[in-house]
């Protein structure tokens, strides 16, 4: 079922509220980003119908895909009267940085539980920025150790805090990308780009892909959303970043939407497609294919990528568009990286101001 185009009276609010007005009372939200983000064609990468959704421009403060999730997550935090957010990620987590920046803006405290990843210059910059934006850092070394602190230790220590999953990828956070799909619908209807046959995005903590895949179904966009795995797909029997974990988050997000508005249409959640061949074996470890994609996007299109998420996704994208059967298909790459340059802010922090265990990450040469 495709919903009709609404009369947009409050452009500053999520477009989702215009399609389903009951959600405005059922779902909390705070304005953080500059939406809609632009779409435009990529003309120098060897495909005649390749497009990009510029979520790197979602905010001059700190852009990327995290802003969309945090608008709904931090709205929920405020609605629940919480004063602190506890979340989890690698030592260079972009999600953690975005959470720290926007919580600082809203007067909320942040605790980041972090685990090891390869030390790149991006990781070092983010560590300095965590300190700049007053995040409390808890070093857990391993992913398993971080999970134990997130689910047990820190909950005992901070019973009144709001615990936010990695990447902001809760059902509430995924609403940000359901909303993004309706934003895209309006851009298609206004002639800014053709209807895409494929939408390609990174798959890390599931929220971006799950929200988009559910959103295009609800919005009536006949596109297949494809995820490119950039983290471990499983931890033992636990599905972390797989088609199954995406579908699970889609289901819980769909239930949340249906509970908030009876006008949300009935849809069937199909199977999801994920490419795992571009991960490189370790979260945050640069790959040769990814670095080549980073170079090509920068030189040919002026688009900045980073090695953990977007470079690996674009390596997959470049292979995907080479398939002869896709020569005429409209392909949309959803760009999730932050384009705001925070190097000056990071330069104001001395690494010796960090807790001692984090100062060690500034020894020697970075991986990249």
pLDDT tens, residue by residue, 316-354: 999 999 999 999 999 999 999 999 999 999 999 999 999
CA angle 152, 158, 161 (to 5 degrees): 105
> What pLDDT is recorded for position 57?
97
Give the contacts of 98 (CB within 8 A, at least 6 positions apart).
Answer: 62, 64, 66, 67, 70, 168, 338
> What pLDDT is recorded for position 333?
99
Q: pLDDT, tens digit, for every residue of 25-78?
A: 999 999 999 999 999 999 999 999 999 999 999 999 999 999 999 999 999 999
Sign of CA dihedral 230, 235, 236, 241: negative
> What pLDDT is recorded for position 5?
40
* Total-model pTM: 0.94
> What pLDDT is recorded for position 117?
96
> What pLDDT is recorded for position 11?
42
């499983």: which residue's tokens? 234
> Which CATH number applies to 66-168?
3.40.50.1100
Sign of CA dihedral 122, 128, 132, 134: positive
> What pLDDT is recorded for position 4?
41
> Which CATH number applies to 22-64+170-335?
3.40.50.1100
Domain coordinates of the chain in residue numbers? 22-64+170-335, 66-168
Residues in the chain with pLDDT < 70? 1-11
> What pLDDT is recorded for position 368?
83
> What pLDDT is recorded for position 350?
98
Distance spanning both ends of the chain, measured CA to CA: 47
Are 22-64+170-335 and 66-168 in the same CATH fold?
A: yes
């Amino acid at each position: 079922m495709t919903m009709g185009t609404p009369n947009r009276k409050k452009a500053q609010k999520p477009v989702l509220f215009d399609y389903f007005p009951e959600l405005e009372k059922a779902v909390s939200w705070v304005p953080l980003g500059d939406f809609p983000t632009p779409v435009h064609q990529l003309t120098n990468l060897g495909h005649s119908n390749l497009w990009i959704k510029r979520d790197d421009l979602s905010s001059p403060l700190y852009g990327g895909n995290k802003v969309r999730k945090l608008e709904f997550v931090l709205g929920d935090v405020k609605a629940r009267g919480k004063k602190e957010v506890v979340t989890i990620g690698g030592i260079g987590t972009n999600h953690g940085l975005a959470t720290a920046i926007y919580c600082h803006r809203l007067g909320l405290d942040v605790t980041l539980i972090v685990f090891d990843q390869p030390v790149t210059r991006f990781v070092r910059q983010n560590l300095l920025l965590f300190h700049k934006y007053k995040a409390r850092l808890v070093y857990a070394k391993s992913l398993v150790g971080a999970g134990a602190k997130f689910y047990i230790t820190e909950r005992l220590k901070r019973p009144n805090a709001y615990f936010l999953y990695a990447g902001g990828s809760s059902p509430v956070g995924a609403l940000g990308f359901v909303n993004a799909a309706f934003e895209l619908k309006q851009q298609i209807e206004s002639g800014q780009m053709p209807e895409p046959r494929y939408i390609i995005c990174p798959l890390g903590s599931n929220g971006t892909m799950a929200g988009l895949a559910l959103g295009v179904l609800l919005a009536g966009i006949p596109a297949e959303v494809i995820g490119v795995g950039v983290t471990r797909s499983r931890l033992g029997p636990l599905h972390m970043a797989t088609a199954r974990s995406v579908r699970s988050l889609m289901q819980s997000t769909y239930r949340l939407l249906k509970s908030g508005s009876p006008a949300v249409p009935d849809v069937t959640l199909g199977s999801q497609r994920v490419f795992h061949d571009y991960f490189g074996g370790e979260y945050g470890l640069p790959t040769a294919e990814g670095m080549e994609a980073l170079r090509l996007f920068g030189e040919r299109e002026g688009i900045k990528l980073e090695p953990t998420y977007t470079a690996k996704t674009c390596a997959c994208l470049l292979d995907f568009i080479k398939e002869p059967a896709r020569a005429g298909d409209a392909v949309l790459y959803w760009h999730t990286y932050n384009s705001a340059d925070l190097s000056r802010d990071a330069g104001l922090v001395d690494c010796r101001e960090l807790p001692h265990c984090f100062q060690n990450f500034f020894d020697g040469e970075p991986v990249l």
